[in-house]
Amino acid sequence: MWTFSCPTIVCGDHALDYLHLIQDKKAFVVTEKELTPSGLIQRVTDQVMAAGTQCLIFDQVENELNQDVVERGGRMIGEYQPDWIIALGSRVCMDTAKSITRQLANGGRAAEKQVRFMAIPVTMDSDSDILPAHDETQILSMAEHLSDIPDVAILAPEMYAHLSLSVIAEISMGALCKAIEGYTSPWGSCLTDGPTLMASRLVIENLPLVSQQGEEGEARNQLQRAAFLAELASSQAPLAGLAQCAAGALSITHMLPFGIAAGLMLPYAMMFLINGSIQTTGKYAEIARFCGLTHDASSEGALSLVTKIQTCAAQLGHPTCLRTCIADSEQFEATLPEMVTKILSQGSIQSAARVPDQEKLTRLFRCAYEGWPIDF
My answer on whether 186 and 98 are in the same domain is no
Residue 376 inside a domain? The answer is no
Least Cα distance to 183 among 233, 253, 148, 138 occurs for 233
Domains held by the chain: number: 2
What is the pLDDT confidence band of residue 238, given thresholds at 50, 70 and 90? Answer: low
My answer on whether 150 and 226 are in the same domain is no
3-state SS class at 52: coil
Please count the residues of the chain. 376
My answer on whether 111 and 186 are in the same domain is no
DSSP state of 134: -
DSSP letter string over 184-246?
T-TT--HHHHHHHHHHHHHHHHHHHHHHHHGGG-HHHHHHHHHHHHHHHHHHHS----HHHHH
My answer on whether 147 and 184 are in the same domain is no
My answer on whether 248 and 299 are in the same domain is yes
Dist CA 30 CA 308 (whole Å): 41
My answer on whether 147 and 46 are in the same domain is yes
My answer on whether 232 and 365 are in the same domain is yes
Q: Which residue, 160, 180, 196, sits at the end of a domain?
A: 160
Enumerate residues 6+ apart whose C-beta is below 8 A from 208.
312, 315
Residue 69 inside a domain? The answer is yes
Looking at every residue in the chain, the average pLDDT score rounds to 87
Residues of the chain with pLDDT > 90, as a percent, come to 61
What is the pLDDT confidence band of residue 127, given thresholds at 50, 70 and 90? Answer: low
Dist CA 94 CA 124 (whole Å): 12
What is the pLDDT confidence band of residue 136, given thresholds at 50, 70 and 90? Answer: very low
Q: How far is CA 133 from CA 76, 138, 220, 231, 232, in A?
A: 25, 10, 26, 10, 10
Inter-residue contact 113 to 128 (CB < 8 Å): no
For 314, the domain range is 165-370
My answer on whether 60 and 76 are in the same domain is yes
Q: Which residue, 98, 125, 160, sits at the end of a domain?
A: 160
Q: How much is the pLDDT for 262?
A: 96
Q: What is the pTM of this model?
A: 0.87
Q: Write the CATH number for 199.
A: 1.20.1090.10
Residue 122 inside a domain? The answer is yes
Least Cα distance to 121 among 148, 92, 149, 101 occurs for 92
Residue 3 inside a domain? The answer is no
Residue 2 inside a domain? The answer is no
CB atoms within 10 A of CB 252: 14
Cα 290 to chain centroid distance, Å, stands at: 22
Residue 105 inside a domain? The answer is yes
pLDDT tens column, 61-85:
998 899 999 999 999 998 999 999 9
Strands ordered across the beta sheet of 152-155: 8-11, 152-155, 116-121, 84-89, 26-30, 54-58
Q: Write the CATH number for 92.
A: 3.40.50.1970
CA torsion through residues 193, 195, 201, 207, sign: negative
My answer on whether 27 and 116 are in the same domain is yes
- For residue 350, pLDDT beyond 70: no
Question: 167: part of which helix (H) or strand (E)?
Answer: helix 165-183
Enumerate residues 6+ apart whose C-beta is below 8 A from 35.
41, 59, 88, 89, 122
- For residue 328, pLDDT beyond 80: yes
Q: Which residue, 134, 160, 186, sits at the end of a domain?
A: 160
- Reported as half-sphere exposure (CB side, CA atoms, 13 A), residue 151 has a value of 13
Inter-residue contact 230 to 179 (CB < 8 Å): yes
Residue 1 inside a domain? The answer is no
What is the pLDDT confidence band of residue 143, given thresholds at 50, 70 and 90? Answer: very low
My answer on whether 151 and 202 are in the same domain is no
What is the pLDDT confidence band of residue 44, given thresholds at 50, 70 and 90? Answer: very high
3-state SS class at 357: coil
DSSP letter string over 59-72?
-B--SS--HHHHHH
What is the pLDDT confidence band of residue 278, given thresholds at 50, 70 and 90? Answer: very high
pLDDT tens column, 170-229:
999 999 999 999 999 888 889 899 999 999 999 999 998 987 766 567 898 899 899 989
My answer on whether 84 and 211 are in the same domain is no
- For residue 107, pLDDT beyond 70: no
Q: Where are the alpha helices (DSSP H) in the chain?
A: 40-50, 67-80, 91-105, 142-148, 165-183, 190-213, 218-236, 242-254, 258-274, 278-290, 299-315, 329-346, 358-370
My answer on whether 98 and 181 are in the same domain is no
Q: How much is the pLDDT for 118?
A: 94
Residue 102 inside a domain? The answer is yes
Inter-residue contact 360 to 317 (CB < 8 Å): no
Q: Count the helix, strand and coil residues of the chain and give each as a percent rounded to the nearest 5.
A: 60, 10, 30
- For residue 303, pLDDT beyond 70: yes
Cα 371 to chain centroid distance, Å, stands at: 27
